[in-house]
Amino acid sequence: MQRSCTAILYTEQEETLARYAKALSHPIRVRILQLLGEKACCFTGDLAEEIPLAQSTISQHLKELKEAGFIQGDVMPPRVKYCINQQAWKDAKNYFALFFA
């Protein structure tokens, strides 16, 4: 399926690849994904101990990763547990491999 963006046609795959690339465009988000990959799942507060940034800044980066589909969160008041979305991670690997092939 092709979509139009200011008279430019692009495929759903191109749109998805761009969304993944945008999510990976900040080193903190890359670091968050590395940490989640090492621990399987992690609470927001645990990430704040690993990354020397304000909790609100980390939360904003988590929001970007979640919107891109890379992570999923389970609310466990008063905390949120985040895990890598394995299917999205696999899809991203495939999209990037095809792009760089």
Mind giving me the DSSP string for the chain? Answer: -EEEETTEEEEHHHHHHHHHHHHTSSHHHHHHHHHHHHHSEEEHHHHHHHS-S-HHHHHHHHHHHHHHTSEEEEEETTEEEEEE-HHHHHHHHHHHHHHH-
| pLDDT string in tens for the chain (101-residue length) | 555 556 678 898 999 999 999 999 999 999 999 999 898 788 888 888 899 999 899 999 999 999 999 999 888 888 889 999 999 999 999 999 999 99
Q: Tell me: the pLDDT tens digits for 28-53? A: 999 999 999 898 788 888 888 899 99
Instruction: Please give the domain boundaries of the chain with CATH numbers for all domains.
Output: 2-100 (1.10.10.10)
